[in-house]
Structure 1
Amino acid sequence: MDDDLLVQAAELAERHLAGGLPRRWKHVQAVALKSDRIAHVLDDADARALVASAWLHDLGYAPGVADTGLHALDGARWLLANGWPRRIAALVAHHSCAQFEADERGLGSVLAEEFDQERSPTADALWFADMTTGPDGQDLDVLDRLAEIHQRYEPDSIVVRFWARATPTLLEAVKRTEATLAAQPM
């Protein structure tokens, strides 16, 4: 994966999100910038995969991409259909505990069958960057981010239900990334 792919990822995200979903675009830009800042703890190929997937992680919310209601799956499918590397699509498909949301939406087996879930420092770092960045691009502690999500959604919503189950898994990924970052400061 080369630097051209990173430029293409940023341009694609901007094209699909900036005009119609400006708040989502702010979030995506901040997640990508945070990913770039923490990528030094990964080798070059993993760092590029992290940053590319950060740019693309919320593509599934975009009009013309959204299909099933599970943005992670929709974005990943779109990426594969448009020639993106399978690894990037899989990182997008499984970002930030997407399997839990897929299960809530009755799409758990579909997500698991179509995309392998990578369990790696790269996947953890993507979850960390996403879930420590607020909807307007602000830096947040992961617990503050989860509280913000709970405030935005109705208590009985799918989002609140899946995060109730997913929180321990998310916190472990964030903890692993924080430990890696502490061991390899900039």
Structure 2
Amino acid sequence: MKQAHELAANLLQESLPRRWAHTQGVAACARRLAVAVEGEASLLEAAAVLHDIGYAPPLVATGFHPLDGARYLRDAQVIDSRVVRLVANHSFALLEAEERHLHTELASEFPLLDDTLLVDALVYCDMTTTPDGESATSEERVAEILCRYGADSVVGRFIRRAAPEIHASVARVRAAADAAGVML
């Protein structure tokens, strides 16, 4: 866990301070969900703190941060392969990969995990945290992304397609958290 935090801080803290604030908020959300993910808390937190490292200037290769970050983790770091796959596939990245014509690469290099709760938990953490690291609803977050990137951009097209799945993931995590007695 410490390795993941140090790596993300080294890559994001100075060069992308707002992205670092978001990352810290996503990791804090993951810590709040620890009980709900039954034994996978450290895995979720590691993926949460690493999910956006692909934005770091030294790692940008394709311009698609889930793929760039996951390739770096796979090739240059000693990180659990499940964390790498979560980073690669966070927040319905396969849908954005389609928009970028990178679906085949992402899907073949980093297959989606079968653990739906863990995948959903990372979606929840990312999509209920603002760029400044504050809590938001998934509806607010989707609207913010659309506003920031524009509805007709690659990200805008992706987020409109992904929105129903994002909201469904968030609802599943809220239900699991309620069942585990976790206040979100």
Alignment partner for residue 86 of structure 1, among 81, 84, 91? 81
Asked if residue 12 in structure 1 is aligned to residue 17 in structure 2, the reply is no
Equivalent residue, structure 2, for 1:50? 44
- In structure 1, the partner of 2:117 is 121
Residue aligning to 1:3: none
1:40 shift after superposition: 1.0
* More displaced 10-residue stretch of structure 1: 119-128 or 49-58: 119-128
Alpha-carbon distance, 1:43 to partner? 2.4
TM-aligned CA deviation for residue 175 of structure 1:
1.1
Matches of 2:145 and 2:37, distance apart in 1: 29
1:63 corresponds in structure 2 to: 57
- Flag structure 1 segments of 5+ consecutive residues without an equivalent: 1-5
Out of 113-122 and 125-134, give the one that drifted further: 113-122
Structure 1 residue ranges (4+ consecutive) displaced by more than 2 angstroms after TM superposition: none
Question: What pairs up with 1:16-35 in 2 under 5 angstroms?
Answer: 16-35=11-30
Number of equivalent positions? 180
How far did 1:155 drift? 2.4
Q: Which amino acid aligns with 1:91?
A: L
Structure 2 residue aligned with 1:107: 102
Q: Note if contact 1:47-1:122 (Cα within 8 Å) is conserved in structure 2.
A: no
Q: Residue 92 of structure 2 aligns to a residue in which SS?
A: helix
Q: 2-side partners of 1:72 and 1:173: how far apart?
A: 18
Distance 2:28 2:66 in 1: 20
Per the normalisation by structure 1, the TM-score is 0.94
Correspondence for 2:168 among 162, 166, 172? 172
Q: Could you tell me how far 1:154 is from its partner in structure 2? A: 2.2
Q: Post-superposition shift, 1:8? A: 0.7
CA-based RMSD of the aligned residues comes to 0.9
